[in-house]
Structure 1
């Protein structure tokens, strides 16, 4: 009995390495396939589609401000306004009013645009005895009433040319010799146009 089964047992033992080898080969093929999928993005293709809008283009508006050549006058407490040819030669005293007539050109393009036009002063107007005794006031008659000090709220309806008036007044109530011989830089005054956000 044992003699008859011995060959079968030997045959089974001989076939085992072959099956193990086949299993190992299959695992290796699967591993290589997974690696190739990983290199290729590791994803399968799914259905997709795309349809473009037919709305057409949308275009940005614009905001800009330019200044023309302005003219200055000087009016004292006892006199009438006189043209100023050269500001660097002017010596102001309490009660004097320097007036700038300033052409401006505003560009406001946009369906919902609103912007604030301001006259802003720099450091020489906010420090020193002379600067602290000067009042700067912006007025633009065609824009109506200012919304706050030296500020006008504009819309696209205001786009185009206008004339601004800027006055620099040496306060008549200045005490003693405050500001005597001092100077301010009129280039420290700037017109700004900023899109409104509130």
Structure 2
């Protein structure tokens, strides 16, 4: 290859390199900043109060009586067990909307027996959740059963939540007899909508 051809190839390569960078070359440019301020994120927490919850039972048309030890109590069909716990709810956020509820799946059989599984069903099938009144600002009854709506910018509120577990009075025969239910991890939930 002669020198003229080599020079032409080298020149064409140089032009190609210059053209490939042509789109990024700017003679004038500028920038500006604005005092846009800062933004903070909100918070959403739920925790059982430091004071332990209490259990009570109502049977038939009788009045509620307290249960000293739920682990030693033996429930029978027709009993209505109620657990009451103070719950600390913190919700801050201008557009925050959350739902407070109790997770029924946190009520588990204490062992693998069919009686324990039947007892879980007998207690949770009619479960209700209520929050003591008057409801604080930012907390309203939810549209779904056993739920409460919590709006943002309410700060920390202490709610008295009652979970009622009626032992289905139509339970007959040996169904659920001798069963055990684990209530040690009863779950309160606060979920953003």
- TM-score above 0.5, yes or no: yes
Instruction: Compute the displacement of 1:168 (Å).
Output: 1.3
Instruction: Compute the displacement of 1:139 (Å).
Output: 0.1
Describe the SS at the equivalent of 2:74: coil
Of 154, 171, 175 in structure 2, the residue corresponding to residue 174 of structure 1 is 171
Residue equivalent to 1:72: 55
Of 126, 132, 136 in structure 1, the residue corresponding to residue 121 of structure 2 is 132
CA contact (8 A) 1:113 1:155 kept: yes
TM-score normalized by the length of structure 1:
0.73
CA contact (8 A) 1:116 1:194 kept: yes
Residue equivalent to 1:56: 37
> 5+ residue gaps in structure 2?
110-115
Question: Highest CA radius of gyration, 1 or 2?
Answer: 1
Describe the SS at the equivalent of 1:93: coil
TM-score normalized by the length of structure 2:
0.75
State the structure with bigger RCO (CA 8 A, min sep 6), 1 or 2: 2
Residue equivalent to 2:104: 121
- With over 3 angstroms needed to count, the CA separation of the structure-2 counterparts of 1:173 and 1:157, relative to structure 1, is farther
Describe the SS at the equivalent of 1:111: coil
CA contact (8 A) 2:92 2:154 kept: no
CA contact (8 A) 2:140 2:149 kept: no
Residue equivalent to 1:190: 187
In structure 2, C-alpha distance between the alignment counterparts of 1:130 and 1:137, rounded to whole Å:
16
Count of residue pairs brought into register by the alignment: 174
Describe the SS at the equivalent of 2:33: coil
More helix by share: 1
In structure 2, C-alpha distance between the alignment counterparts of 1:50 and 1:73, rounded to whole Å:
69
In structure 2, C-alpha distance between the alignment counterparts of 1:158 and 1:73, rounded to whole Å:
31
CA contact (8 A) 2:91 2:154 kept: yes
Instruction: Compute the displacement of 1:149 (Å).
Output: 1.7
The alignment's C-alpha RMSD in Å is: 2.8
Instruction: Compute the displacement of 1:193 (Å).
Output: 0.4
CA contact (8 A) 1:117 1:154 kept: yes
Describe the SS at the equivalent of 1:132: helix
Of 46, 64, 74 in structure 2, the residue corresponding to residue 91 of structure 1 is 74
- With over 3 angstroms needed to count, the CA separation of the structure-2 counterparts of 1:114 and 1:84, relative to structure 1, is same
